[in-house]
Structure 1
């Protein structure tokens, strides 16, 4: 076995993978200059084969990783390949590949490219002769020098260590330690045996004492039995005497009992009536207090509205006079505006006609003057040119110039037409917006009245909902008192009932009711006592017969009972006995058919679905008039017989009975609890309904208040927008007028451009005609005649144009005068008057305030009247209830006396 190859990567100075081979099977020598990595190579071999690199911290592992100038490596490994031809390693392979990989958080071994644990690697090395107890197969640098410098004692210890004798020394030390521990354990066992012997002696003494105690206890019990037998005989004699006295005075006792029960019932009825009257008085006091507060608030609001109505009424006459003057001024301005607009409407057709005629005459005048000018120009050109060629060249230049001018004029004409179309569109839009603004301003008063109506309706809805909520608050306050009293009565009845059973049963029944309510269990019906009704005559007999079965819980099946029991046990909430209806199988009983034997179950009223439960408890019992008859039927028919007073005889011959206090009746206690619980649940349900209704009304009131706020904001926006609309109308009017003036200027410019285009076209045609004609020194005869006609035509057209221009100017001045008056005087005055009127009505003028205050005063007066009537009615009822309470209290005191 020898090392064939070593592969190092990332270990200390070996960053890249380094393969060192081949190795000699005998001796190998590594030489190199300082810093070439000889020590790191030797450390790599020790890293794999030695125990020097075992328990390493994170810093030690970091020190083994390469840290060069470049990026540091995260892991490193050293792999040694052994020649295993001599089978020193028991692997059965000719080679063994051993690798150790180290990182910041890992330290792993692998054998033959497979992961292996450190223990497996060390065991394999041990089998090949690499002993951990004698690690001198690797001699590090400086070890030989240290051997030569050792002292004799140290060298002897080293030789022992090399020879392997230290192992035996360690084993000897460990054996001595085990022997010492064994001696200590033997000493402890001896002490424990001594303690056991002492305890046995003590138990023998206690055994003797127990035998003496048992003898004395047996003697004591004999004496107690003799004493009890003597007392039993005496008690039996006394019972016989008491029974004899009871039999002789039973008739009088029954009468006394009946009178006592009747008196108790009367007192209970009076107490219930007193409680009810006290509750009614409390309700009436609450109502009276609430109505008194409401009446006080209503009176304050009424006085406030009366003062406001009075103040508004005093200023109403002055406001009416001012309104009359305002209306007269407004009508006068409207009449002036209509008259001026009518006059303007009459002038405009004539003005437009004259303007159109003037434009036509001017166009004809310009055409005639142009033709005449061209003829004069043609006549004068004959003196400037010597030949036709010179004339034609000049004409062609003029035609080109005219073409250029025509193109420019046409472009200008197109731009002007586009601007005219745009101005007309803007004017149309502005006229529509102005008309819309005027319509909105005219409708301002109507919109204000509509909004005032909406506000009043919203207030009526809010007040109506508030009144409904106040009524519900009153009812809720009453119900709180009723629920409190019902809760007290229920607690009182439950405490009284709980005293008739043990605490665990009481807690268990309360827990079952809570579990049924929480888990919504349908098959849990109730206790047996809650499921039937019985006449008062047989109440005592039923209680004695049922006993504790009255508090057994009736369920539909055993699964429901098991489910409830599991919850009870988990919560440790008491103890309850269940009666599953599907498991109750009552047996037939021989009931005597006689008039003095009544089957008890026939006197009970219950739901037929509980038949099995009642047959199980009451099916074997009959009611007899006295104890003698009961005992006779119990023996003859093997049934349980009981008297109405509760005296009982069973089939075994046992007689039981005695006095039963009617105040401690379980049936009555259960009835009171059921009645109190039903009343409490009814009031609780109604209270929940009222709370839901109040929540709904709160939401509706919030919505109504929000709607009222929206309408009020709409009103404020309408009032605030009025001035803005007036300013916008004035601005748009000025803009419209400026656009109209600009349109008129553009139209005149377009007309002039159109005339220039016609003149240029005619001039071009003239040039082209002249260019096509022969070259002559003078005009033709036709042209001379045309020139004469044009001169007379121009004079006539100038005269007509002058007359039409004068007429048009006169009409235009009148139109401008009317426009200025409408724009600068009449319409601003009308807008100002309209603004005053709309501002008065829109901002809540005196008239609208007066009407609103009168309506509020009327509503508050009705509310106050209704509240006063309710208050007087409640005060009367409260006084009557107080008198009734006083009478009942006197009756109770008399009954007790």
Structure 2
């Protein structure tokens, strides 16, 4: 075991200190300058391990705090880390650990120890260290500065005391002193017991003479006690009998008035229910009157609609009659028109074929004529050009220009031709569309009749479904209206019940429960919410008739909240407090509430109140805690007996309580103030309200569905009407067909015109192309200025041919025009015939439409009749319900009047019961007082003699007479000691006890003396054994340190010359005898040099350590006074011993560094000490610097002391001041400048020379 590391925070000159490299388990040497903090480092270790720093005062504590820049950091701590791989330190309650941390933390009001983060006391730490080998009697495992000198100057007697401490005789001496003290106390007690026994003998003699008179008095007193017992027993029985009689009367009256009590509660409930029914009747009457008014309004509307429909029906019938009268002629006319139209179409078809053939011929002739005319025009133009141009160049230029112009014309004609062709396509498409529309209309006209029939059937079915939905809507609406009133009443009842419940709950409890709910909602922790089960009143059920007993027993505890554990309640309260929630709340933790139920014996007319409470088995402990020690009894007298017998509380069914401490409480309790009843009423009202509200929502949803269905049906009817109307209008489609035919004819004419334009454009293009070809051909020919005969003949032939062809074409065109006129006449005729046919068909269509309209009006009239009939039925039903509601209201009002009269009678009965109850309770209290007084007096009589039964048959007057005689006879013995016999027996017992105690004390005295002798023997053996071990080790260590052949060292015990008493030591001193090899042996250490004395002291310390070894040793500058050769010996010895234990040594000498396994340097800067690992070379360098600074400091100090001495001699009368400033210097060596400023104020001018000399000498 050794120290691995040391952590220091805020201790003296160390702010924060920890070793980066662990300490060596062998020899560790610490070096540093004076004042750097070496001693503070050793003090930090002692702060944790030694009793030196225990029980610190506030001033001593402040002296330990680090003082640097700013305020000191509090608290401070020092932690020592031990390597415990050998298991030497055993922490209680833990297995062996390889590392042990002992920390001590100190503040202004804090001082604690921790071992591996576990808190220990200072005594625990001391015992822990002693178990590891740190003996409190051998504190030399830590040697501080100056301790070597004190040991060297120690007297022989003190040295002997040191060996005794090492031997552990302090424990023996402490136990011997305790034994001596016990011995002294035992002897004193023994003497006192002897004196007490003597005094008791004297008193016993006196009591023997008083016993005879006492025996006579006791006979008289026994008789008197028997008489008194009989009288008091008679009074006790009379009081009990009176109590029983009062209790029977009260129970009898209570049973009679109890019926009134229950009747009044029932009457109040019935009155409240009847008044609620009256309000419901009023609301139902208002609702039914409103329904009746709505039905009357709807009936008036239906009647007005019926009148309008009847007028429309009459008008439609008259029109149908007029139509039927002309229907036959119209049918005949339709046949004729169809025949004429067929004939016209046949003739038109023939004419169109002829016209088409003639048109082809005309077109052919026209084309031939156009070609010949072109040639003619070309020849004429050519002849004209021969006359127009002078030469070939002019002709060719003109031909080129004309060719270009014709080409441009061809382009324009082609563009127009393209447009014309597109127009032809559009017209042909329009013609095709018109033909399709015409065909569709013709087909639809054939299908419209069957579609209308189908739509009418669907319309009628939809109307029937609408009527059924209307009926269902009326039923649901009435049911909804009734439920609205019912729910409104249930809501009022619920609010009333909740208000009553809030009245019986304290406001702070109610706020606390609300705050708990808010906290659970805010936390939203499912596990915490599941751990809260609710209020106790919500979790239990009570048997009928026991509500009042439970109420008075539990009180406000019924609203305590049941939770899983105490921790859950603590968490909830903490959250409520942190959120500053108002209110007060109490909890029943299931893990702490584990009460038991008191069980009563057989034959006892009572039961446990907990047996009448129904709850989940997991809440049984809470129920037992609250109700398990309460008995349910039939009367107060029974409650008193049960309470005394079983040490429990008792309660009656009416709420009268008997406490186990004797108190009785009771009286009338109003049912409306009961928490259980209010809670049950609120729970039932809430359930009724929820059921009614759910039913209302369901009915409202059904009504919404019916309204939506009605809306859909009305939409369907509207669409059906629209569709029938459109189809009916479509039956008038002959005009539309005719319009399509007319538009098609117009389009045909437009198409013909477009074809003609196309033909003309094509001819113009051909003409232009011919001209271009002619111009090109002419350009290739030679220029001729004259016209030839051949050309002339050709021109004339072309002119004749053109004339002939024109005449022929004119004839053909006139014939085509005549045929076209005939075709147009036939088309006009066909058109007129179609118009007449359309008008005839429209007549039949109007007739059919009129018939359909008449049918629809008839159906609508029938529907209105059905609605009016249904409205009448509804009105009759409402009249019937209204009459029933009014009768029900009158009946309920009569019942309320009867109930109110009975209620007043019951109230009077209850008031009488209260008065009777008060009188009875007062009489019972008086009887109880008499009974208890008699029972108390009987108890005061003590044990009753058996002869008391002989006086039980006497009358009360005879007993009183006998008691007077006994009192008169007892007056003669008024002077005697009535307790003489008891006192004699008591004193005899006391005497026997004292005699036995005296014998025990004598045995104890012998045992104590034997123990003291044994302790003296053990102490002497321990001293001699320790002395021999230290003597042996001292001789060995001294030879190892001195290293000369004839050196030796001895320890000698010195006997006492005087005779010692028991327990005193036979030895008084230990003398050291040493020889360094030169001269005679020395027994007086004062004859040795300082280094030799230190060496002898170190030899003694090492001898003690070998006798009582410790795990490690701390030495602070133990080699300061040693010579060089001895320092080397000490260093060598430490190196040798470090193989089995750890050494931490502070030194200013190099010899220690030579044998060091680990070197630490102490540095001081800005009032902060710091320790770090350094090398041996760095340590030697640091020691040299320290030596140089120390020599300089000593030299300055010596020079200044000389200067002060000189001043003291020169200043004469100022010598006292110089002495004062000299002491001031010794206290403030670091502030020389302020010293000289002070001196300059007190030195006169006549010593200027000496002052200047002193100043120059000091600052040289």
TM-score category (smaller protein): 0.5 to 0.7
CA distance in 2, matches of 1:853, 1:526: 65
Q: CA deviation at 1:541?
A: 2.1
Partner of 1:295: 295
**2:546 is paired with a residue of what secondary structure?**
helix
Which residue number corresponds to residue 85 of structure 1? none
Matched, 1:428 2:429: yes
Q: Aligned pair 1:485/2:494, yes or no?
A: no
Counterpart in 1 of 2:1152?
Answer: none
Asked if 1:743 corresponds to 2:751, the answer is yes
Equivalent pair of 2:633/2:653 in contact (CA under 8 Å): yes
Q: Is residue 871 of structure 1 aligned with residue 870 of structure 2? A: no
CA offsets 1:744-775 (integer angstroms, 9 cap, x no match): 23323433554566678789989999999999
Q: Deviations along 1:824-850, whole A, 9 cap, x unmatched? A: 7844994898599789979x9964772
Match of 2:587, SS state, is strand
Query: 1:579: which partner in 2?
Result: 587
- CA shift, 1:315, in A, is 0.9
Tell me the residue number matched to 2:684: 675
Q: How far has the Cα of 1:666 moved from its partner? A: 3.8
Cα deviation, residue 810, structure 1: 5.2
Contact persistence 1:558–1:583 (CA under 8 A): no
* 2:632 matches 1:623: yes
Cα distance in 1 for partners of 2:760, 2:513 equals 112
C-alpha offsets along residues 793-826 of structure 1, whole Å, 9 cap, x if unaligned? 988x9879957963x5455334323443566784
Q: Rate the CA distance shift 1:276–1:660 in 2: closer, same or farther, 3 A.
A: closer
2:540 alignment counterpart: 532
Residue of structure 1 in register with 2:252 after alignment = 252
The answer to whether 1:285 aligns with 2:285 is: yes
Which residue matches 1:545?
553
Cα pair 1:621 1:642 within 8 Å, conserved: yes
Farther off after superposition, 372-381 or 362-371: 372-381
SS in structure 2 at match of 1:247: helix
Query: Which residue number corresponds to residue 608 of structure 2?
Result: 599
The answer on 1:360 being equivalent to 2:360 is yes
- Structure 2: give runs of 5+ residues left out of the alignment: 1-235, 906-1260
RMSD: 6.4
Task: Tell me the residue number matched to 2:413.
Answer: 412
- The 3-state SS of whatever aligns with 1:537 is coil
Secondary structure at the counterpart of residue 623 of structure 1: strand
User: What whole-Å deviation, never above 9, does each CA across 1:657-702 have from its counterpart, x for those lacking one?
Assistant: 5555556544323322332333344445555677777788888889
Q: Distance in 2 between matches of 1:356 and 1:404?
A: 37
Q: Shift in Å at residue 738 of structure 1?
A: 5.1
Tell whether the 8 Å contact from 2:278 to 2:893 is kept in structure 1 after alignment. Answer: no
CA contact (8 A) 2:655 2:667 kept: yes
CA distance in structure 1 between the aligned counterparts of 2:833 and 2:331, rounded to whole angstroms:
15
Report the TM-score when normalising by structure 2: 0.41
Question: Match of 2:593, SS?
Answer: coil
Partners of 2:557 and 2:382 in 1: CA distance: 151
Distance in 1 (CA, whole Å) between partners of 2:551 and 2:475 is 47
Q: Decide whether aligned partners of structure 1 residues 769 and 528 sit closer, same or farther in structure 2, where only a CA change above 3 A counts.
A: closer
Cα contact 2:403–2:775 (8 A) shared by 1 = no
Work out the number of aligned pairs and report it: 649
How far apart are residue 308 of structure 1 and its match?
A: 1.6
Q: Provide closer, same or farther for how the CA distance between residues 243 and 334 of structure 1 changes in structure 2, counting only shifts above 3 A.
A: farther
Greater radius of gyration (CA): 2
Is the contact between residue 623 and residue 641 of structure 1 (CA under 8 Å) also seen in structure 2?
A: yes
Between 851-860 and 461-470, report the one with greater CA deviation: 461-470
Question: Does the Cα contact within 8 Å between 2:344 and 2:829 map onto a contact in 1?
Answer: no
CA distance in 2, matches of 1:382, 1:737: 47
- Secondary structure of the corresponding residue to residue 591 of structure 1: coil
Whether 1:885 and 2:907 are equivalent positions in the alignment is: no
Aligned equivalents of 1:791, 1:513: Cα separation in 2? 124
Cα distance change, pair 367–299 in 1 and its aligned pair in 2 (3 A)? closer
Among 546, 562, 568, which residue is 2:573 paired with?
562
d(CA) in 2 for partners of 1:456 and 1:666?
A: 65
Does structure 2 retain, via aligned residues, the 8 Å contact 1:312–1:846? no
Q: Which residue of 1 aligns with 2:178?
A: none
Quick one: structure 1 residues 423 and 327, their matched pair in 2 at CA, closer, same or farther if it must change by over 3 Å? farther
Question: What's 1:308 paired with?
Answer: 308
Q: Is the Cα–Cα contact under 8 Å of residues 534 and 603 in structure 1 kept in the other structure?
A: yes
Which stretch has the larger CA shift, 683-692 or 293-302? Answer: 683-692
Correspondence for 2:821: 813
**Closer/same/farther in 2, CA of residues 311 and 595 from structure 1, 3 Å limit:** farther
TM-score of the aligned structures, taking structure 1 as reference length: 0.55
Whether 1:861 and 2:868 are equivalent positions in the alignment is yes
How far did residue 868 of structure 1 move? 2.8
- Which has the larger displacement, 295-304 or 317-326? 317-326
CA deviation after TM superposition for structure 1 residue 537, in Å: 2.6
1:155 maps to what in 2? none
Cα deviation for residue 316 of structure 1 reads: 1.7
**Alpha-carbon separation, structure 1, partners of 2:771 and 2:336:** 54
Give how far 1:586 is off. 1.8
Deviation string for 1:321-374 (max 9, x for gaps)?
455589889978987886677556545654554344324323443455567779
- Deviation of 1:271 (Å): 2.7
Q: How far, CA to CA, are the matches of 1:645 and 1:385 in structure 2?
A: 152
User: For 1:612-655, what per-residue CA distance to the aligned partner results, in whole angstroms no more than 9, with x for missing partners?
Assistant: 54333223334345556655554555444434344444554555
Task: Give SS of 1:587's match.
Answer: coil
Decide whether the 8 Å contact of 2:320 with 2:847 is kept in 1. Answer: no
Q: Following the alignment from structure 1 to structure 2, what is the Cα–Cα distance between the partners of residues 295 and 674?
A: 41
Q: Deviations over 1:562-611 (max 9, x none)?
A: 389559964x5xx4433244565223345346474533333223345644
Unaligned regions of 5+ residues in structure 1, if any?
A: 1-235
SS in structure 1 opposite 2:545? helix
**Structure 1 match to 2:188:** none
Q: Note the alpha carbon deviations across 1:261-302, whole angstroms, 9 max, x for none.
A: 453355246435524542552353134213311321232123
Q: Answer yes or no: is the 8 Å Cα contact 2:734–2:838 preserved in 1.
A: no
Range with bigger deviation, 266-275 or 822-831: 822-831
Q: Provide the C-alpha distance between the structure 1 equivalents of 2:678 and 2:584, rounded to a whole number of angstroms.
A: 19
- Conserved in 1, the CA contact under 8 Å of 2:427 and 2:751? no
Deviates more, 1:882-891 or 1:596-605: 882-891
Higher RCO structure (Cα 8 Å, ≥6 apart): 2
**Per-residue deviation, 1:863:** 3.5
Structure 2: how far apart are the matches of 1:702 and 1:520?
46
| Distance across 2 between alignment mates of 1:658 and 1:239 | 23
> Per the alignment, do residues 792 and 685 of structure 1 end up closer, same or farther by CA in structure 2, a change over 3 Å counting?
closer
Residue 324 of structure 2 is aligned to residue 320 of structure 1: no
* Separation in structure 2 between the aligned mates of residue 416 and residue 325 of structure 1, nearest angstrom: 61
Whether contact under 8 Å (1:601, 1:615) holds in the other structure is yes
Structure 1 position 311, deviation (Å)? 0.9
